[in-house]
Amino acid sequence: MTNIEEKSLLEVKEKIIAVKEEIGKFIVGQDEVVAHLLLGIFAQGHVLLEGLPGLGKTILVRKIAEVMDLRFSRVQFTPDLMPSDITGTNMIQPNEAGGQSFVFHEGPLFSNIVLADEINRATPKTQSALLEAMGERTVTVMGEMRHLPAPFFVLATQNPIELEGTYPLPEAQMDRFIMKIDVAYPTRDELKEIARRTTSPKLQGLEQLVDANFVVSVQELAKHILVADQVLDYAVNVIMASHPEEPNTSEQVKKYIRYGSGPRGLQSLIAIAKVQALFNGRFNVSIGDIKKVAFPVLRHRLFLNFEGEAAAIHTDDLIREILDSLEERV
């Protein structure tokens, strides 16, 4: 590849390893979650993080912003939160001429990393305002469009839908997230270590290792990672195999899926796989990269039918079935 030097790839790989290790000095036992969040940031996507309250989702994002020296803001989503509370609004203020004029006051969306905490507790109207900013990277207030800073990354946390007081995200809005990451409950040893680190007299600060310019440069670099036709064909086959009406679809998919992933799922699969290859210091995406990132990219894009929901089928099991069925065809 002419526009990417091997030295550049090695430098990025080493920096990302250092960032992960630095975050790991405070965050306990969430290595895969951290890795997936970094994939989402450098793929210029947004991530939906789901887990029970109290698992450290908020502090995790704060520490990532700290290590990457990115401007961070947090919005606690509640049923009474209005769109202007997150986008900002025009306010009347005195001016130098002695009169009054409208002055725009930026909302929390004007940050590099925005934590939308418990997004499924806000009304659909406010959810839509956030998702519009995610898609366009702009906000419009009183007819005037304003650009959000670069990089711009939204991490939305969501409590499981069975908890009271939640508004489930519609399927079309779920598709806006490049990945969905499930946060597992910590093990016994991890719980002990969390208690040690968070209840000590002095909490450990983390070193700032990269900045916004580094993030933007790596985002651009990732776009130049090559995807061979064979690998692209495999990614397309994964998406097609998620549709129950396709002739070669597995019996499990036909039985439990109402409808599968669309074109945005394929775009996300390739974008995340490119960053995965970049993090590993490679010029090109492999089929192994596609397999590795398929779970977080597709788990919120496979929608179960009534039978699948009644049987409490997990979409990860269906993704595994899809990948296994493609192996059998080779």
- Span 198-219, pLDDT tens digits: 776 766 678 888 999 999 999 9
HEC-encoded secondary structure of 130-182:
HHHHHHHCEEEECCEEEECCCCCEEEEEECCCCCCCCCCCCHHHHCCCCEEEE
Examine the pLDDT at 330 and tell me if it is beyond 70: no
Closest to 124 (Cα-Cα) out of 156, 82, 76, 66: 82
Closest to 46 (Cα-Cα) out of 118, 125, 114: 114
Q: Are residues 172 and 315 in the same domain?
A: no
* Percent residues over pLDDT 90 in the chain: 40
Q: Concatenated DSSP letters for 246-285?
A: STT--HHHHHHEEE---HHHHHHHHHHHHHHHHHTT-SB-
Report the 10 Å Cβ neighbour count for 264. 15
Residues 118 and 240: their CA atoms lie apart, in Å, by 32
Write out pLDDT tens, residues 53-80: 766 777 888 889 999 999 999 998 888 8
Give a yes or no: residue 207 inside a domain.
Answer: no
Q: Which of 200, 235, 253 finishes a domain?
A: 200
Q: How many domains does the chain have?
A: 2
Q: Per the structure block, which two tokens stand in for 97? A: 């001429």
Q: Are residues 122 and 182 in the same domain?
A: yes
Mean pLDDT of 27-37: 86
Give a yes or no: residue 214 inside a domain.
Answer: no
pLDDT-derived band at 191, boundaries 50, 70, 90: confident
pLDDT-derived band at 220, boundaries 50, 70, 90: very high
Give a yes or no: residue 112 inside a domain.
Answer: yes
pLDDT-derived band at 233, boundaries 50, 70, 90: very high
Half-sphere exposure of 88 (CA within 13 A, CB side): 22
Q: Are residues 194 and 47 in the same domain?
A: yes
In degrees, rounded to 5, the angle at the alpha carbon of residue 322 between the alpha carbons of residues 271 and 242 is: 70
Residues 244 and 235: their CA atoms lie apart, in Å, by 17
Q: Are residues 196 and 82 in the same domain?
A: yes
Dihedral of CA atoms 293, 294, 300, 306 in degrees, nearest 10, equals -160
Residues 277 and 291: their CA atoms lie apart, in Å, by 12
Residues in the chain: 330
Give a yes or no: residue 30 inside a domain.
Answer: yes
CATH number at residue 105: 3.40.50.300
Cα distances (angstroms) measured from residue 166 to each of 73, 115, 161, 177: 22, 17, 6, 18
